[in-house]
């Protein structure tokens, strides 16, 4: 949160979809964080990246 300047209270009060989109983008761009999160959530990196790319289709 230090990197974003967002406090926990601001995160709780914010738009949950924007928060989810931002977190997904963060993990998609940070391989070590992606691998750690996937290990903890029992997901594969491919599953997360598929979700990221399906939400970020560029025409």
Render pLDDT for 23-57 as a digit per residue (tens, 0 to 9). 899 999 999 999 999 999 999 999 999 999 998 88
Determine the Cα–Cα distance for residues 46 and 37; give it in Å rounded to an integer: 12
Task: Identify whether 48 is part of a domain.
Answer: yes
Is 54 a member of any domain?
yes
Residue 24 lies in a domain: no
Domain boundaries, position 40: 30-59
Q: How many domains would you assign to the chain?
A: 1
2 lies in a domain?
Answer: no
Q: Return the number of other C-beta atoms located less than 10 Å from residue 54's C-beta.
A: 8
- pLDDT band per the 50, 70, 90 thresholds, residue 21: confident
pLDDT at 42: 97
Domain membership of residue 39 (yes or no) is: yes
pTM tops 0.85: no
């Amino acid at each position: 949160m230090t990197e974003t300047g967002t406090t926990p209270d601001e995160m709780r009060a914010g738009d949950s979809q924007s928060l989810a989109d931002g977190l997904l983008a963060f993990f998609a761009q940070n391989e070590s964080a992606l691998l750690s999160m996937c290990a903890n959530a029992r997901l594969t990196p491919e599953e997360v990246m598929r979700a990221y790319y399906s939400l970020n289709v560029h025409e």
